[in-house]
Each structure stands twice: as C-alpha cells, then as structure tokens.
Amino acid sequence: MKCSSISLKASTVLLLLAMCGASFAISADDFIPPVQEDSAARRAELLTVSNESAVHVSRSASLDAEITAAPTLQDAINAIIAKPKQGCQFAGVTGYAASTIVATGMGTYNPNYENVMASRIEQRNAYVVAFMRAKSEMSRTLSGITIEGATYFEQDSQSETTSAKTLNNLSMSLTERLHQWAQAVLRGYVTYAVQDDGKGRVYVTLVSSPKTRGQVRRVSDGITATDLRSGLNAVIAEIKSGLVPPVGGRIIEVPGTGEIAWVGFGSSVVRHDNEPDVQAELELQAEQIAELRAIDGLAGIILGDTTRWEAHADESTKRMIQSFETLQREDPTRGTEQEIRELESRRREMRNSLSSSETVSSLRRGTLPPGITPQTDIDPDGYFAYGIAVYLPSASDRAAEAKREMDTTRIVRPVKPATPAPNAPAPQTVKPGQKLEIKRGPSGVVEQSL
C-alpha cells in the first residue's frame, strides 16, 4: 500500500473524529507521548523537564511506594526516564491524588552482523523484548510478586594432630535457589517513549494513567480539532518515515465528547530479493504481518492481555582451605587404608556457579469491535513495513449499523436462466507454435458514487 493510501484513509478517520465536536481540554493527567511527534526538536522538547525545581519525590501512604510529582504529568514522567533504566515507578501531578504508572524495559541487539537483514530483525526483536519487559515490570508492580526461595549453608572441618603439628581443612558451601512470578491483566497502557542508544541497546517506556484507562471524561473549551488532526498526522508521518519501529499503542482524545481513540501499532522487517516479482511478494508478506501485529497490539490495549513474569536464579559458592589431603591405598591383606599427606603450601580455592532464567508471556484473546480498519505502509528505505489500527467507539457504532443493514437488505432478486445466443463464438484455442504473451492489466481509478 502506498503512503497516499494511508493519508486518504486516515482522513476518513479524522472526519469521524471531527463529527464528534470542536474542542476539548487537557486535564491534569493528560500527556502527549513523545514518539507521536515527527519533529526531532519537538520530541526532544517533550522529553525535557521544563521545571526541574518543582519535581519532588515523596512517599505515598495509599500506594506504599515512592511517587514522583510535578506541576505537569509530562515533567513527572520525564524526570523518571531522564536516565533510562528498567523498572516501574509512580508519577503524578502535584496536588492530585490520581497516580500514573511508568514502566520501562530494555532489549539488546547486534548492529554489526555481516548480513544487515539479521541486524534489522534483531533490532525489531529488541524493541519487542523491551516492550515485554516493560509490561512485566508493570505486572509485578500492580499484582505483587509470589516468592519461593531457599538458602542453604554448609561447613565442614577436618583436623589432624601429630606430636609435631596440627593440620586443618575447612570447606564451606552456600546455595541460593529463588523462584518468583507475577501475573496481571493489563489494559489501558500506551507507549510513551522509545530510545535506541546506537550501540545495540533499546528502551521502551509504557505509561498507564487514569485517562488511558478510560476513567476521565472531562470536556471544556481549549484545544481545537486541528490539534487532533495534527496529532494523528504526526503518528502517520512517523510510520511513513520509519523513525521508530512501533510497538504497543497510543491514545488520542476526540474533540468535544472526550471520547478516546485507541491506536495499535505493528511492524515487520521487509526481506529482500533481486527478482522484482519475488520482492513484491516479500513486501506484501511484511505488510500483512505488520497488519496482524497492529491488530494484536490494539487488542492488548483495549481488551487487555494476561502478562505473566517468572524468574529463576540458582547460585552456589564453594570455598576451601586445605592443609592436607587424604590418600587411599589398597592393601590386599588389610583392605583400604587412609593416609594423610601434608601439602607443601596451604591451598585456597573458591568456585561460584550461577544460572538464571526469565520468562515473560503476554496472552490475548477476544473479539475486537467492528469498524476497525488497519492500514499498512513500507518506509521509504524499504526496510520495515508498518501497520496502524484505530479503535473509535463512535465509528464502531456506525460500522455495526452498516452490518445490520447488510444483514437485512436484499439486493439480488431471482431471475430466469438466460438461453445461449445462436451462433455464439467457440472458445478460443491456442494454435500450435503460437507464443503466449501477458498483457498489462487494467490500471486506474474506478469512478463511482458512494
């Protein structure tokens, strides 16, 4: 699909949005995800703390956790992610009780493979891993962590004393076995920011606020429909320019009604081939996969996904201090005998073994409402295919009404079978030795009144 196709169909979405009203207000817990901006300067501005002196961290008695607060939610979130680090924290607006969850995950990739296609695949996977880890951090914070753990310590000692000296051996071992897991149904979260440090490390930050969870429906004069159009166009511009491989989704508030439009994203690496027909199929394949992932991402946001995190860690340490060693000698007449041999110098050894594993699963199942039309496109470089899927409740209502009309309308009526015309031409046959050619198919716009 071409870029113009996305713009045209996005205009249809915007028309539906504009029908809902002319203006809306940004409440205290509103924010604009920086990744929605196609301007590098604007994205940098949105990630900057405008009033650092007004940011403060305090202990919330209701949450039993620290909360970073600022005059604007934008500043509070930016203060948390100023130095990207995997984890989950709370943010809020000074003077307001409502809280926002800020979760960040990290992923890695190798940008230096000989086959650049491998690096692109690994790069996209790194964003998915970071996205999954961010969801696992949010799940652990919201649901609590179930723990099974065991720690073992053991110490042995041996001493051998003769008339001349005493020899001592000591051995100690410490073993820790940890198993932890958490599970929660997450919905109403958006991708706030993504970052690639250019060295193979990426971060994805998710935010869940009262507004993204659909709990705020406040409307007043302020921002016009033009701003909404600019916001959605910026999202589409991001997809077309391939600024960031999209993961997750975002929200856009509808003018006038306070209705929320949810936007899901998906991406896929475009494989390459020297043959044009094969390349066309590979591009179509990438767009189809991006569409599947966009719909899947939208489902995770509005229907919710069950995110489970599980981690294991086993570590053992052995320390030995040895002054002598025990030898066994086989004597046919007396059986096995033990002998003690003093070491020339005391031997000290330490050995540590560590194994760990982490598993994050995100499961989604359900039926999306009608009226969701995914769009796909390929970036100008032909590296990635991107997908977008928008859910707007009012548009779904219109689609459901159209479906009812389709179910009840009878368009085709029975007719009598047609009789074959006399002297009808015989089917065309291929003459021996005739060369078959392929003609260019019909191309152009089919004009009709809809």
Q: Is the pLDDT of residue 354 over 90?
A: yes
The more confident residue out of 310 and 329 is 310
* 144: amino acid identity, one letter: G
Q: How confident is the model at residue 225 (pLDDT cuts 50, 70, 90)?
A: very low
Would you say 313 and 356 are in contact if contact means Cβ atoms under 8 Å apart? yes
d(CA 18, CA 40): 28
pLDDT at position 95: 79
CA 226 vs CA 254, 262, 268, 412: distances in Å: 11, 18, 31, 43
The strand pairing partners of 341, in sequence order, are 325
d(CA 304, CA 184): 10
d(CA 182, CA 213): 21
In a 3-state reduction of DSSP, which class is residue 377? strand
Q: Which of 38-47, 63-72, 358-367 has the lowest mean pLDDT?
A: 38-47
End-to-end CA separation in angstroms for the chain: 22
Q: Is the pLDDT of residue 358 over 90?
A: yes
Q: How confident is the model at residue 220 (pLDDT cuts 50, 70, 90)?
A: very low
d(CA 104, CA 304): 19
H/E element, 409: none
In the chain, where are the structural domains located? 1-25+221-304+364-409, 149-179+313-356
pLDDT at position 347: 93
Q: Is the pTM of this model over 0.85?
A: no
Q: Is the pLDDT of residue 227 over 50?
A: no
CA 435 vs CA 426, 431, 439: distances in Å: 20, 9, 13
Q: Is the pLDDT of residue 126 over 70?
A: yes
CA 3 vs CA 35, 228, 242, 265, 368: distances in Å: 19, 20, 12, 16, 26
Nearest CA to 107 out of 135, 130, 137 is that of 130
In sequence order, what E strands does 83-165 have? 87-93, 100-108, 146-161
16: alpha, beta or left? (left if phi > 0; alpha if psi -120 to 50): alpha
Nearest CA to 365 out of 303, 290, 288 is that of 303
Would you say 108 and 127 are in contact if contact means Cβ atoms under 8 Å apart? no
Would you say 294 and 247 are in contact if contact means Cβ atoms under 8 Å apart? no
In a 3-state reduction of DSSP, which class is residue 137? helix
Would you say 291 and 267 are in contact if contact means Cβ atoms under 8 Å apart? no
d(CA 385, CA 284): 9
% pLDDT > 70, the chain: 66
Would you say 265 and 248 are in contact if contact means Cβ atoms under 8 Å apart? yes
d(CA 214, CA 253): 11
The more confident residue out of 96 and 241 is 96
The strand pairing partners of 338, in sequence order, are 328
Q: Which of 101-110, 199-208, 261-270, 426-435 has the lowest mean pLDDT?
A: 426-435
User: How many residues belong to the chain?
Assistant: 450
Would you say 201 and 133 are in contact if contact means Cβ atoms under 8 Å apart? no
100-108 β-sheet, strand order:
56-60, 65-70, 87-93, 100-108, 201-208, 190-196
pLDDT at position 11: 40
Would you say 371 and 251 are in contact if contact means Cβ atoms under 8 Å apart? no
d(CA 211, CA 3): 31
H-type helices in 303-413, by residue range?
Answer: 393-408
DSSP code of 398? H
pLDDT at position 243: 45
Q: What is the mean pLDDT of residues 383-400?
A: 77
Mean pLDDT of the chain: 75
d(CA 331, CA 326): 16
The more confident residue out of 238 and 392 is 392
DSSP string, 198-260: SSSEEEEEEEE-TTTTT------S-EEHHHHHHHHHHHHHHHHHT-S---SEEEEEPTTT--E
